[in-house]
Amino acid sequence: MELTSSVAIGISVLAVVLAYKLWKTINYFSDRNIPYVPGVWPFGSSIKAALLKRNFASEWDDIYHKLAPHKIGGFFLYGKPIVMVRDPEFIHRVYATDFSHFVDRGFTVDEKKDPLDGHLFFMSGEKWKYLRSKLSPIFTSGKLKWMFDQMKGSSDKFVNAFDRGISFGKDTCLKEDFARFTTDVISSCAFGIESNAMGDPDSKMREMGKKFFEPKASEILKFLARLACPAVLAVFKIKTASLELTNFFVDLVKQTMNHRINTGYVRKDFIQLLLQLKEKGHVEVDKVEQRNEDYVAETNGLVNGLSGSS
């Protein structure tokens, strides 16, 4: 009887604590007199995106307009209160004047366990700040012009393949054609390889790109869990990316970089820029915390490359 009472008391106390934390979260913005878009627990303010019925970018664009004309506002991402900055002057302060106070990304990352997570979107603290400052010079208009020949080569292949299809009166799926064209451009400019996705219906790069953007239900659940309760994934050491994807892209970048180093081959692409930075020591983040440099190259190449191949 005493044991039952103790369990009941324990459950009651836990329920009260959780209810209090939930109440504090729900009232986070109202307690601070900050305008916000209400949410529905546990989905937050982006219900359709949380249920994978709409992309987060479109949901957040709606939230941005709902918060007008306020300079800043809030919304909820699953169980977390998120601040959205709308004013250009405030944005400048975040990214320039007061940048040192805004280096955290809000994600729990273990690059050794899950190397594909070691990119700028997920990094936090000094690692993110340091790596961002070193990689920023890569993403300039001058560097895009530097890769123009690679883009033009992929564009010519796309036009030729399209012309052949028209001459033979073949039906075509524009969405798939443009996805394959984008895959070729990304493979050439970011990964330094020719994927031939336009000419090869069984292109391995296109297959991996589709798996990246069309994940299995289990992978989607793990990603949502990362947003909602990252501590759980950290405790149980759960990887969000599949082992197949991780191995493919890690091996691809390692092999490409090793080939360049061993042969001295030079090509105008993202990999070459990373190699230049690496050889000069500008991407050695072990000044902040000792880690494997190759993970930086692999994962940033993946994220910056795959962002357009959906």
Q: Is the pTM of this model over 0.75?
A: no
Q: Domain extents for the chain?
A: 30-88, 135-306
Least confident range from 138-152, 174-188, 217-231: namely 217-231
Instruction: List, for residues 233-263, the tens digit of each pLDDT value.
Output: 667 677 777 788 888 988 998 899 999 999 9
Least confident range from 79-83, 113-117, 256-260: namely 113-117
Rounded Cα distance between 53 and 223, Å, is 15
CATH 3.90.25.10 fits 135-306, yes or no: no
Phi-psi map region of 200: left, alpha, beta (phi>0 left; psi -120 to 50 alpha):
beta
Higher pLDDT, 3 or 87: 87
Instruction: List, for residues 194-214, the tens digit of each pLDDT value.
Output: 899 988 889 999 999 888 877
Report the pLDDT averaged over residues 64-92: 92
pLDDT at 3: 61
pLDDT at 129: 72
Query: Is the pLDDT assigned to residue 281 strictly greater than 70?
Result: no
pLDDT at 110: 65
